Chains A and B, each alone.
Chain A
Amino acid sequence: MSLFKERQYVRIRVDREADDSLWMKCKACGELVFKRRVRENNNICPNCGEYFFLTAGERIESLVDPGSFEDLTAPIVTDDPLGFVDSQPYSDRLREAQEKTSLLDAVVIGRAAIDGVPVILGAMDFRFIGGSMGSVMGEQLCRAMETAIAEHRAFVLVSSSGGARIQEGMFSLLQMAKTVTVRRHLAEAGLPFLSVMAYPTSGGVQASIASLGDILIAEKGALIGFAGRRVIQQTISEELPQHFQTESFALERGQIDRVARREDLRDELALALGYFVEAR
């Protein structure tokens, strides 16, 4: 499928060897499964139903009308404003992530149609430093919403993020305020925002843009929450329920509107979008 024919990613050096192994072992059931089957099955194990991560590209492909996606991701990279070095320089981590994913940062945005409904779509990529939100993601999300406003389209965001990107310090924390500000503009323009929460939607992303959708849809297998399980266990000695921060936990507690299986997510979005199209 030539979904990304028009993509304009500035390709950082990519020298990953072509992946020519045919089989993979499912981490959940241990079964050897045919890779192409897995791929054709939305990255779901054909044997046990375990979900594997979707890259941003795979996610988009699984949701949009074939050939409708037009990449609008701005060709920008973070400036590493703090010159951050921990056990490793941030600049090295970035380069590794860029090489691994062939993305410039952890989110891809673009124009697309979902069952014929024009949308601006954003999808985060967890492989890129945990899908964390720094200067670039914040900027891309704002541009996405502004394009939605300019072109009178709905905004659909699929989150998969551990939260704010620590390595950009306060610049990252303030992306929460930045995206919330532009989200208000989207609301003022009367355009719907469908927020899809995938595994994981947490930290500063959950505590800002992802929770502010007009409709919140969790993908089955999602993790939804603010603080991590370990942090909570360190703070309190309470036993956490088995399904803590899962989509069913969130649904039972009134935190989300709907849950959809990965294979149904496209239809779910099409269904929801349909009501807004009629209303317009």
Chain B
Amino acid sequence: MSDERTLDLLEAKIEELRQLNSADGIDLSKEIARLEEKLDHLRQKLYANLSDWERVKLARHPKRPYALDYLQSAFEGFYELRGDRVVGDDRALLAGLARLGGRTVVVLAQQKGRTTEENKERYFGMPRPQGFRKARRAIQLADRFGFPLVSLIDTPGAYPGLEAEEHNVGATIAESLLAMAEARVPTLAVVIGEGGSGGALAIGLADCVLMLENAIFSVITPEGAASILWKDKDKAKEAASALQMTADRLLALGLIDGIIPEPLGGAHRDAAKTSAALQSELVRRLAELEVIPAEDRRRRRDARYRAIGRFRPAPMRDPEAPAAPEGAVRD
């Protein structure tokens, strides 16, 4: 994103002028105001009409706030619970107790790394079976004590690897889904960046599903779809549009409950503001959910998922039409 560079340079310039302004007593406020106006214009121009592919890039932006950033700003006192009690602790999928608006919640969160070193430890935010088993444990803990559950989703997907398959990653995703379907406590999921396929959904079966404005949620990465369906890796942009993975599209399709706005240019342009918006929306939604009796809430969640799918009656059969040859051997 070279336009981002221009924005960065302008911001740096403004900051520089501000410091000069206060240090030397020279009045640069007019110059600063002029540059700020220019910056605003540029932002508007760049971000008012983002393409789907640009949103994919924003959702994956290396400066984008990650789960731990929100855990430190929108939540209080994150008390991490580690380990799956079987083979290890996944650093890509975190679990723990925290306070949200003064009350105890259980948080599940996928965490990407900032540095190469950290990404090595966190597998670029791709959870492994130990992570999904830990998630299940945390969901059950929340349910046992009546703590609401909040999931912060940000992953390219489950980690594809030999060991993950040996430890039956698919079944651990299924078990995590089942635990979420069983939970009687209020459950909230927010896609804060990338919602990549089954690895994301594993912690995303919830009473209320939200997305940050520039987050994406998809059955497959655009690159994966491009290579499977278009047989051409360069068609990722087309795939990103065809898959309808942006927050506004998914809201229009009725698959999510709401969008949390981001500052112009993306969450990373003003992390504090994004975090404040996230916090107030979580608190508001939680209050809405909590007034519903537990059994009704779960019935509503059941009905919500039961209703997902778009189909129509098949065209009626022509009774005169010849029957298909039954069960011929495939060549």
Contacts and interface: CB of A to CB of B under 8 A. Distances in A.
Report whether over half of chain A's contact residues are helix, strand or loop; otherwise say mixed.
mixed
B168 A255 contact: yes
A160 interface: no
Contacts of A11: 317-318, 321, 323-324
Interface residues of A, number: 90
A211 B171 CA distance: 5
A206 B174 CA distance: 8
B255 interface: yes
Nearest to A184: B181
Chain B, interface size: which category? 35 or more
A147 interface: no
B324 A14 contact: yes
B315 A76 contact: no
Interface stretch (A64-72, A108-116, A227-235): A227-235
A180 B302 CA distance: 10
Contact of A181 (B165, B244, B305, B324): B305
B325 interface: yes
B245 interface: yes
Given A24-B329, A52-B329, A166-B228, A204 B198 contact: yes
Contacts of B174: 176, 180, 206-212
Given A13-B321, A86-B239, A238-B162, 7 more contacts: A14-B324, A82-B244, A104-B314, A164-B198, A171-B253, A226-B169, A226-B170
Interface of B: 158-162, 164-171, 173-175, 177-178, 181-182, 197-198, 201-202, 204-205, 217-220, 224-225, 228-231, 235, 238-239, 242-245, 250, 253, 255, 301-302, 305-306, 308-318, 321-331
Interface of A: 4, 8-14, 16, 18-19, 24, 35, 38-39, 43, 52-53, 55, 57-58, 61, 75-82, 84-87, 102, 104, 127, 134-136, 138-139, 142, 164, 166-178, 180-185, 202-204, 206-212, 225-228, 231-232, 235-236, 238, 240-241, 244-245, 250, 253-255
